Amino acid sequence: MNHDKVSSMDRVLTTLSHKEPDRVPLFLLPTLHGAKELGLSIKDYFKKAENVAKGQLQMREKYGHDCLSGFFYGPIEVEAFGAEVIYCDDGPPNSGTPLIRDPEKILTLTPPHIEHSKCLLKVLHAISIMKETIKDEAPIIGVAMSPFSLPVMQLGFDRYIEVMYERPDLFSRLMEMNQGFCISWSNAQLKAGATAICYFDPVSSSGMIPPEMYLKTGFQMAQKTLSQIQGPTATHFASERCLPIIKDVARTGTAIVGVSAFEDLAKIKTACKENKLTVLGNLNGIEMRRWTPDETERIVKKAIAQAGPGGGFILSDNHGEIPWQVPDEVLMAISEAVHLWGRYPLDWV
Amino acid sequence: MEDVISPFETALLTLDRLKANEILEETSGTWSPMEQVKHVVVPTLERIGSGWETGRIALTQVYMAGRICEELVEKILPREAPDRKRQPEMAITVLQDYHLLGKRIVLSALRASGYELKDYGRMDANELVQQTLVDQIEILFISALMLPSALKVASVKKQLDQSKSPVRIVVGGAPFRLDETLWKEVGADAMGWDPSDAVSLIGKFTGVSS
């Protein structure tokens, strides 16, 4: 479906410099749809690196969007720690019972060795296959859960909140361990061929913790962790709000921020532009299931009008993962709308 | 009332359990435990819930505030106290997925408001239907974080309707907040936007205010 003369990589790099490329880049991030594309169940799709690589490459060809994703599913990192992953036929693999039942176990928990983790090695293999095929034509996005957000799956969110507020000793130990793992995991993906790392950090969002708490916790962790990741990063808040903390997010050193459908995209763009951050978002993946083609075009056009001028904008969904229930027709309509309305200069705005 | 609710809210949001306890105890000379719940705890939790909806208050604060209130209310109104509200028969559950925080927050808010209800933990659709029928539940609160789980509410509703259960289903969770029509799509009777909505919805269904 690619009508473009400019490579996706050049398009994205230009927008990251806050200049206007040929058109607004689109990161569709259909992590599950590859299974549909290959006629596989979700569980079978994720069994092999080759499936994920093939699914990503085919979907990029089909929808003409601007990246490949090395993301498998959210709990893959806790799976490497030994946690259970629950598969279903109509959604992403999900974390099961938390790995740590007794918070005191944090003191003795050790991170997995990437080279011995089958699930993590699969991701690296998928990234290397994609890199070998795509070379530098399009960015490959690796994903790493932030040390500050990973405990939601390690402990359960309720127990994690209690540790965060009431057990600074355990919290500190957990952060130290998770930070080391996050850095190693991110750098392994970059070494395998990922262009950038999406640092997934929903707990840092202002919907989850107060900004003053963020400055003492998630912000510190992001600053220290991102400085040791040997490549560019995007910070994603997985549908949660971030406008109140944009200035601080910029100080972590990240280049891109994944923003919520709950927030005003125009206000987000203004704040990000002031802080030299590129906006990634913010299409509503849950509503997307029921969009008509006309609605899709209208919504994409509005997002481009709000955030496209001046570059510094990549259209995407607001969660970092398109739900299984979103029809292919809607994904195609998004792509067509970007190709129709996203050409710079945006004279129609 | 503002001179009690405002400092009580501040104490909860700053996790000052001692202060919160002190403020509530100061009202014990004027009000019965259930009145303390009605005039102080419930309106404060409503204010905190609204604050979360507008972005003024974060979810972790909502959770900790709810937990502190639950502890304080349990001291003045223990679970076995006759004044506890045991009607209507209610239950709360997480459907299918393993993300329990939303359920925990609503459960705290309801218990802190003087209600007693069954905590079903996490259940799949079929077992939830069976248990709801066995317990003759009248209001069922279902929390879901994942879209596939939210969509399974339709199956729960269908099976309960087939069994002629009069149960009212109230749903909540991220997918319902992101798509405002989803609760109707799955056949729920109402949706809670924030934890304190659970209390007002009980009033709406029973015709009795909290």
Cα gap A58→B35, rounded to integer Å:
63
- Per-residue pLDDT band for B98 (boundaries 50, 70, 90) equals confident
Q: Output the average pLDDT for chain B.
A: 94
pLDDT tens by residue, B42-62: 999 999 999 998 889 999 999
Are the C-beta atoms of B50 and B196 separated by less than 8 Å?
yes
Identify the DSSP state of B115.
Answer: B
How many helices (H) does chain A have, and how many strands (E)? Answer: 15, 10
Q: Which residue has the tokens 């949001």?
A: B13
Q: Which one of B52, B97, B148 has the shortest CB-CB distance to A90?
A: B148
The length of chain A, given as a count of residues: 349
Strand-pairing partners, residue B171, are B142, B191
Under an 8 A CB cutoff, do B63 and A161 touch?
yes
What separation, in Å, do the N-terminal and C-terminal C-alpha atoms of chain B show? 16
Region B65-75 average pLDDT: 94
Under an 8 A CB cutoff, do B64 and A165 touch?
yes
**Interface with chain B: mutation pick from A73, A90, A161, A246, highest number of B CBs within 10 Å:** A161
Is B82 in the A-facing interface, judged by CB distances under 8 Å?
no
pLDDT more than 90, % of chain A: 99
Strand-pairing partners, residue B118, are B91
Amino acid symbol at A236:
H
- Per-residue pLDDT band for B86 (boundaries 50, 70, 90) equals confident
Residue B208 has pLDDT above 90, yes or no: no
Q: Output the average pLDDT for chain A.
A: 97
Are the C-beta atoms of B37 and B77 separated by less than 8 Å?
yes
Beta carbons within 10 angstroms of residue A313's beta carbon: 28
Is B152 in the A-facing interface, judged by CB distances under 8 Å?
no
DSSP-derived 3-state class of residue B123: strand
Q: Which one of B148, B149, B178 has the shortest CB-CB distance to A261?
A: B178
Smallest CA–CA distance from A84 into chain B, residue: B98
pLDDT more than 90, % of chain B: 87
Residue B210 has pLDDT above 70, yes or no: no
- pTM > 0.90: yes
Residues from chain B that touch A290, judged by Cβ atoms under 8 A, are 179, 181
pLDDT for res A3: 57
What is the value of ipTM here, to two decimals? Answer: 0.92
- Per-residue pLDDT band for B209 (boundaries 50, 70, 90) equals low
Under an 8 A CB cutoff, do B179 and A324 touch?
no
pLDDT for res A89: 94
pLDDT tens by residue, A97-134: 999 999 999 999 999 999 999 999 999 999 999 999 99
Under an 8 A CB cutoff, do B55 and A90 touch?
no
**Interface with chain A: mutation pick from B179, B186, B193, B194, highest number of A CBs within 10 Å:** B179
pLDDT tens by residue, A164-183: 999 999 999 999 999 999 99
Residue B16 has pLDDT above 60, yes or no: yes
Cα gap B11→A101, rounded to integer Å:
29
CA dihedral B165, B167, B172, B177 (to 10 degrees): 80
pLDDT tens by residue, B110-135: 999 999 999 999 999 999 999 999 99
User: Which segments in chain A show pLDDT lower than 70?
Assistant: 1-4
Is B154 in the A-facing interface, judged by CB distances under 8 Å?
no
Q: Which one of A165, A261, A325 has the shortest CB-CB distance to B147?
A: A325
Q: How many CB pairs under 8 A join A and B?
A: 79
Under an 8 A CB cutoff, do B178 and A208 touch?
no
